[in-house]
Amino acid sequence: MTSENPLPRNHGAARETIASACRVLAHRGLADGILGHISLRITENTLLVRCRGPHERGLAYTQPEDIRLVDLDGNPAADGELGGGYTVPNELPLHTELYRRRTDLRAVVHAHPPQVVAADLAGLTVRPIVGAFDIPGTRLAANGVPVYPRGVLIRNRGLAAEMVDAMGMRPIVVLRGHGLTSAAETVEQAVLQAISVDILAGLALQVTSAGGELVDLPEADMAELPDLGGAFNMGTAWRHELARLGERR
């Protein structure tokens, strides 16, 4: 960080969280290169979002100074927020249209997991094929994961509105030939949802490649899956993700 590109002082903890979450996505293989972004709603009309800087190296190397505060139109929401050559993502409308239309959401993740793309293109939907292996992921899949059928860059409000319509009130949507969008109340939850969908997509590819058939978990087994609680499903799971990066919280 240089004097030409100072890190704004406000929302420091939130910037740290988003930066770590970007690194988690990359470490998990959901955003291997320079594509993908995470945002967090701060007020009704502003959000922190992972921006591309003048020395862009990809999500695996995201730092807090890469997280910038902008309004729903992509304009800087405070002095210096888009200084030093920083620009908002081309697909910022993907985030902002969700915030405009879904008041229940505070965080949005957009990533390009190759397994999710491959499974969808192979005609494999995200289904509850496992049980205790991943209880939150199984419940997420059991309620359905919709697909936005256009493999386009979601760079304007019209395309973003189409994606939101396809998503409905679900927390995640697969984008054909593109990746996924995951949304939740917290950054951590949105990332963990994306990881679960990626794992389920990978398992589906492995099962079908081995000649097997995808079978949903029986209702009786689904009813036996316990709710381990947010402290475990979210808190412990997120500490694990940070530990994989060599970070502690």
Catalytic residue set: 91
Q: Which of 161, 184, 185 is nearest to 172 (CA)?
A: 184
Q: Which of 27, 34, 204 is nearest to 120 (CA)?
A: 204
Sorted by sequence, the CB contacts under 8 Å of residue 154 that are 6+ apart come out as: 91, 93, 94, 160, 163, 175
Residue 82: phi and psi, rounded to 5, are -120, 30
Radius of gyration of the chain from its Cα atoms, rounded to whole angstroms: 18
C-alpha dihedral, 91 to 141 to 197 to 174, nearest 10°? -30
